């Protein structure tokens, strides 16, 4: 049986660290020192992480090939690489989608911009390849259910963090003086009310999943033997989570309160996100059943030492202005929140280190606490979505909730029927019928609300939050008019529809990714200049499917729909084949996430955070199908074989490493030099590959950001 090398295992850990950091950095991080603050900086961050992950993925693949060449081939490995490729669910649609992106980049009217991305969005082919790389990296490294649940846990914590900052904005507690109104319509860490809502609606189903599965499991779990211990463990986890969240809040306050003549503090916020991620990682492991790792504490201490050292040095030797409570009432207390964050971290760690080990199986109380906490996170995120007053995400969330609970009730009814519980099955059937009836009536009300001008509806449209849903068909004023003009134009400019139909070849292949800003000018409707800035050309249609036609033509739209429909078919098939309740719930959840995204795209713009979550959802669905035994991911057969070795019993590993005395020492001495010498060329090649990757990352991603910060 083939074993992974130590280097290969470390590569897998680094790859996993990259996609965990992507889950936290992309939604949370923004850069106050650049001109655009949000989307371009999130895109370059994702690019950087994926270049690092792909580089270590290549090294890991080479290690697997070298390891494979030294072992006799197995009979079942006769399948060709192409057969193994198309045998992985969603890989063929992903390959088609990728090839269409590359082809339309070559045929673009602005090929360089199409590949690297525009200055406004940076959503070119390179960034989209990074999403696809994220999908592939998760597939080849996600091998256990714990890793899958880690993605869910981190996503929930990040969603709660983003939502919390939005709630602070709504209640006028935001320390940053934003130019736009972030009180009536919160923007949080994504810079736009539509963007933050589009991201949060993709996390809400995960909160539903965690809450329902844990509450369901609590019914069959054993009562807690020591309830105070369970409460202390919950308190420890809460403190560790708050440590990261309050650290980020203090750093945001610091950015508003402390000003220098240069950009020396540019690194503080991303480093704080990394430190918070390290603490949040503790919540994804069962520290109560083993030793609590100390490395997250070292990461936090290292960050605090660097930060405090630079702050003191700058205060002594460089001009630094610290705002008073009068000038920055919500930011001057940044140091207080930093100390509170530190206190939460110390207390949380102390409780985790001092408590005795927990039982092998979670108790009823611990599952109830987890389920209720996840439900509270869902409520918090929904409240933040409501505070955005964004109609497209409202529709997306509504569609996702309808799909989620309809399939949930149907699956629960099917599950109980298989267990012979007739009475409960009948009750669930009635509940399902009632739910579908309520959803149908809600849809009918929504249609009536938008079409009928009765006095009651007219007054209702003026009510905050609710009234926005009565203006879905508004096309003569506000953002509805802007969208109509961008889509269909006016008497003098035919808009996006005219752009798509003006050239039969371009109708087929599009004008190129990120090309609308350039190609749209001849079709610009003059009426739009009376609403938007004069001379400004739209770079998006504010409709994802229309954007596919503009940028990649019919082949782009078909490839995108091929990917989405293939996923829907896969998720439904996996749900029907699964017998376990938790498995069915998971596939219902991922299906609901994609429904939310697809529905929101009818009136929205796909952003870095939402597209990242889309590809993460695709990846974890495919990986979950393999973990549940529905198929094998043959592309990672080498690592799968290594998994049993990695989880071998400690005694077995000790026996394997036993020749460290007597004759064994001489034997090891005779083989070790030759083995080390044979590894030198490979290690040099890996070092060269890493240097090339870091050079490319600096040139393509980091240096442009520094230039933006320095010369904006």
Q: What is the pLDDT of residue 199?
A: 98
Q: What is the pLDDT of residue 76?
A: 53
- How far is it, in rounded angstroms, from Cα 111 to Cα 124? 10
Q: What is the pLDDT of residue 132?
A: 97
Q: What is the pLDDT of residue 530?
A: 82
Closest CA to 207 of 67, 385, 351, 341: 385
- How far is it, in rounded angstroms, from Cα 626 to Cα 437? 36
Q: What is the pLDDT of residue 651?
A: 40
Per residue in 585-620, pLDDT (tens digit) is 999 999 999 999 999 999 889 999 999 999 999 999
- How far is it, in rounded angstroms, from Cα 410 to Cα 422? 14
In terms of C-beta distances under 8 Å and separation of at least 24 residues, what long-range contacts does 630-636 make, across chains too? 630/574, 630/577, 630/578, 631/87, 631/89, 633/88, 633/139, 633/140, 634/79, 634/84, 634/87, 634/88, 635/84, 635/85, 635/88, 635/91, 635/139, 635/140, 636/139, 636/140, 636/141, 636/143
Given its phi and psi angles, is residue 37 left (phi above 0), alpha (psi -120 to 50 degrees) or beta? left
Q: What is the pLDDT of residue 645?
A: 39
As a whole number of Å, the CA-based R_g of the chain is 27
Q: What is the pLDDT of residue 639?
A: 43
Return all residues near 193 (Cβ < 8 A) that are at least 6 apart.
Answer: 182, 185, 186, 187, 388, 389, 390
Handedness of CA 639, 641, 644, 648 (dihedral sign): negative
Per residue in 126-164, pLDDT (tens digit) is 999 999 999 999 999 999 999 999 999 999 999 999 999
Closest CA to 553 of 504, 507, 487, 593: 507
Lookup: tokens for 57: 């993925």
- What are the residue ranges of helices labelled H in 601-649? 608-627, 637-646
Closest CA to 375 of 221, 204, 202, 165: 204
- Residue by residue, DSSP assigns 511-569 as S-TT-HHHHTGGG--HHHHTTS-TT---S--SSHHHHHHHHHHHHHHHHHHHHHHHHHH
Q: Please list the ranges in the chain whose pLDDT falls under 50.
A: 1, 637-671
Q: What is the pLDDT of residue 84?
A: 72
Q: In Å, how far from its chain's centre is CA 488?
A: 33
Supply the angle between the helices 663-697 and 39-69 in degrees, to the nearest 10.
150
Q: What is the pLDDT of residue 64?
A: 85
Task: State the DSSP code for 698.
Answer: I
> The whole model's pTM is what?
0.92
Give the side-chain half-sphere CA count within 13 A for 554. 7
- How far is it, in rounded angstroms, from Cα 367 to Cα 214? 5
- How far is it, in rounded angstroms, from Cα 704 to Cα 698? 8
- How far is it, in rounded angstroms, from Cα 506 to Cα 98? 19
- How far is it, in rounded angstroms, from Cα 517 to Cα 535? 11
Lookup: tokens for 698: 């600096």
- Output helix, strand, coil percentages for the chain, rounded to the nearest 5: 75, 0, 25
Task: State the DSSP code for 471.
Answer: G
Q: What is the pLDDT of residue 69?
A: 63
Task: State the DSSP code for 376.
Answer: H
Backbone φ and ψ of 577, nearest 5°:
-80, -20
- How far is it, in rounded angstroms, from Cα 610 to Cα 591? 15
């Amino acid at each position: 049986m083939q074993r992974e090398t130590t280097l290969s295992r470390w590569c897998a850990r680094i790859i996993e660290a990259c996609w965990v950091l992507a889950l936290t950095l992309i939604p949370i991080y923004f850069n106050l020192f650049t001109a655009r603050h949000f989307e371009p900086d999130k895109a370059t961050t994702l690019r950087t992480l994926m270049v690092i992950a792909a580089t270590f993925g290549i090294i890991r693949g080479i290690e697997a090939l070298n390891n494979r060449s030294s072992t006799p081939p197995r009979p079942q490995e006769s399948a060709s690489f192409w057969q193994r490729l198309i045998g992985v669910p969603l890989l063929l649609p992903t390959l088609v989608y990728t090839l269409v992106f590359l082809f339309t980049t070559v045929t673009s009217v602005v090929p360089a911009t199409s590949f690297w991305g525009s200055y406004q969005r940076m959503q070119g082919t390179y960034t989209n390849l990074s999403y696809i790389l994220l999908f592939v990296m998760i597939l080849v490294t996600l091998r256990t259910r714990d890793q899958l649940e880690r993605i869910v846990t981190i996503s929930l914590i990040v969603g709660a963090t983003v939502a919390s900052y939005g709630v602070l904005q709504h209640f006028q507690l935001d320390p940053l003086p934003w130019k736009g109104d972030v009180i009536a319509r919160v923007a949080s860490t994504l810079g736009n009310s539509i963007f933050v809502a589009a991201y949060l609606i993709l996390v809400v189903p995960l909160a539903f999943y965690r809450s329902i599965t844990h509450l369901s499991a609590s019914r069959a779990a054993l009562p807690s033997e020591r309830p105070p211990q369970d409460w202390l463990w919950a308190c420890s986890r809460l403190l560790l989570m708050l440590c990261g969240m309050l650290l980020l809040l203090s750093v945001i306050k610091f950015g508003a309160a402390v000003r220098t003549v240069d950009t020396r503090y540019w690194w503080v916020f991303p480093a704080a996100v990394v430190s918070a991620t390290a603490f949040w990682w503790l919540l994804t492991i069962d520290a109560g059943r083993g030793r609590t790792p100390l490395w997250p504490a070292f990461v936090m201490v290292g960050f605090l030492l660097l930060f405090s050292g630079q702050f003191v040095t700058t205060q002594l030797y460089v001009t630094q202005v610290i705002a008073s409570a009068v000038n920055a009432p919500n930011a001057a207390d940044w140091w207080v929140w930093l100390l509170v964050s530190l206190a939460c971290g110390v207390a949380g760690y102390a409780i985790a280190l001092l408590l005795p080990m927990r039982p092998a199986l979670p108790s009823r109380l611990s599952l109830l606490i987890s389920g209720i906490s996840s439900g509270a996170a869902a409520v918090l995120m929904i409240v933040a979505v409501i505070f955005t007053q964004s109609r497209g995400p409202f529709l997306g969330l509504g569609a996702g909730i309808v799909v989620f609970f309809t399939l949930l009730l149907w699956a629960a009814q099917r599950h109980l029927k298989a267990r012979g519980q007739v009475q409960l099955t009948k009750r669930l059937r009635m509940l399902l019928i009632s739910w579908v009836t309520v959803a149908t009536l809600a849809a009918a009300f929504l249609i009536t609300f938008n079409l009928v001008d009765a006095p009651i509806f007219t007054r209702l449209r003026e009510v905050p939050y609710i009234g926005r849903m009565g203006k879905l068909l508004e096309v003569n004023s506000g953002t509805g008019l802007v969208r109509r003009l961008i889509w269909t134009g006016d008497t003098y400019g035919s808009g996006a529809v005219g752009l798509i139909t003006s050239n039969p070849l371009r109708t087929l292949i599009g004008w190129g990714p990120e090309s609308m800003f350039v190609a749209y000018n001849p079709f610009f409707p003059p009426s739009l200049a009376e609403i938007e800035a004069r001379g400004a050309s739209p770079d998006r249609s504010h409709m994802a499917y229309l954007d596919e036609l503009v940028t990649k033509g019919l082949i782009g739209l078909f490839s995108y729909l091929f990917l989405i429909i293939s996923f829907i078919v896969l998720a439904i098939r996996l749900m029907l084949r699964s017998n376990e309740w938790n498995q069915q719930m998971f596939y219902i959840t991922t299906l609901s996430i994609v429904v939310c995204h697809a529905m929101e795209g009818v009136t929205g713009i796909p952003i870095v955070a939402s597209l990242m979550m889309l590809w993460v959802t695709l990846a974890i669905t495919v990986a979950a199908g393999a973990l549940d035994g529905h198929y094998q991911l043959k592309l990672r057969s080498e690592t799968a074989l290594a998994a049993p070795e990695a989880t071998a019993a400690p005694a077995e590993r000790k026996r394997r490493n036993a020749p460290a005395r007597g004759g064994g020492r001489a034997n090891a001495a005779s083989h070790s030099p030759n083995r080390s010498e044979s590894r030198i060329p490979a290690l040099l090649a890996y070092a060269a590959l890493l240097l090339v990757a870091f050079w490319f990352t600096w040139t393509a991603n980091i240096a442009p950001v520094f230039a933006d910060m320095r010369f904006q």
